[in-house]
């Protein structure tokens, strides 16, 4: 690895697994260094060509919902020490926003999302691959609380979506990517030992 190449860390796991907590814990340690988080959620495909009713049918837990080519292109740019314009996804209108976020290249790039380990081309860009593995009952409880409190959803609608989309997609696409992980972190952000080990490993690579 060249001295100059940024370290790329992939952090995957199901919805509500705690991957964002793990990401934030690592970010906090390296924020004095130079670290950027790229959320896969921002890379949902642009759907402006579809009618609003059609956009409502989008299955956000399927690999094809993501513009993975754009994400890979952006990671390669950051690896080449070039800045990118990270897209923003507007969930209210179910398509990409007109605005973007300017991101400067950094020494540590964290890719976080439910399916960041699904595409081989993306995996090959990563130095460390993590999978945050949390029991399904905890994940559904976290998702319920989040969607009801933060997104104004009803209990019935969250459960219905979980049973018809989230759970089958998790079993079909997310869970199988666990095999690609270098490290599997049980219980997400509460696992301080695993996070400390990760931080130590990243420091070693950076040095």
Is 19 part of any known ligand binding site?
A: yes
**CA–CA separation, 13 and 188 (whole Å):** 9
DSSP codes of every residue in 122-173:
HHTT-SEEEEEE--HHHHHHHHHHHHHHHH---HHHHHHHIIIIIHHHIIII
Report pLDDT for 1.
45
**CA–CA separation, 206 and 105 (whole Å):** 15
Report pLDDT for 3.
57
Is 16 part of any known ligand binding site?
A: yes
Nearest residue to 95 (alpha-carbon basis) of 151, 53, 54, 44? 44
What are 106-142's pLDDT values in tens digits?
999 999 999 999 999 999 999 999 999 999 999 999 9
CATH architecture of 7-202: 3-Layer(aba) Sandwich (3.40)
What are 94-113's pLDDT values in tens digits?
999 999 999 999 999 999 99
Q: Is 41 helix (H, G, I), strand (E, B) or coil?
A: helix
Report pLDDT for 61.
93
- Distance, CA of 33 to chain centre: 21
H or E segment and range at residue 199: helix 192-206
Is 189 part of any known ligand binding site?
A: no
Nearest residue to 17 (alpha-carbon basis) of 86, 87, 89, 115? 115
**CA–CA separation, 23 and 80 (whole Å):** 23
- Distance, CA of 203 to chain centre: 22
Q: Give the global pTM.
A: 0.92
Beta strands in the chain (DSSP E): 7-13, 35-39, 84-90, 95-103, 108-112, 128-133, 183-186
Is 200 part of any known ligand binding site?
A: no
Q: Is 66 helix (H, G, I), strand (E, B) or coil?
A: strand
Q: Which residues contact 172 (CB under 8 A, 6 or more apart)?
A: none
Ranges of the chain with pLDDT below 50: 1-2
Report pLDDT for 176.
97
């Amino acid at each position: 690895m060249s001295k100059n190449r940024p370290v790329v860390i992939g952090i995957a796991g199901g919805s509500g697994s705690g991957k964002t907590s793990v990401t934030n814990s690592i970010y906090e340690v390296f924020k004095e260094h130079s670290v950027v988080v790229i959320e896969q959620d921002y890379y949902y495909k642009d759907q402006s060509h579809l009618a609003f009713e059609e956009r409502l049918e989008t299955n956000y837990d399927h690999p094809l919902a993501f513009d993975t080519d754009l994400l890979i292109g952006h990671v390669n740019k950051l690896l080449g020490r070039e800045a990118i314009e990270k897209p923003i996804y507007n969930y209210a209108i179910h398509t990409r926003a007109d605005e973007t976020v300017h991101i400067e290249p950094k020494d540590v790039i964290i890719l976080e999302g439910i399916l960041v380990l699904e595409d081989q081309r993306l995996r090959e860009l990563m130095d460390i691959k993590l999978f945050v593995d949390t029991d399904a009952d905890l994940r559904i409880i976290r998702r319920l609380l989040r969607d009801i409190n933060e997104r104004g959803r009803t209990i019935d609608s969250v459960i219905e979506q979980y049973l018809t989309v989230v759970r089958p997609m998790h079993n079909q696409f997310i869970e199988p990517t666990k095999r690609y992980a270098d490290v599997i972190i049980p219980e997400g952000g509460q696992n301080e030992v695993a996070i400390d080990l990760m931080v130590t490993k990243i420091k070693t690579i950076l040095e």
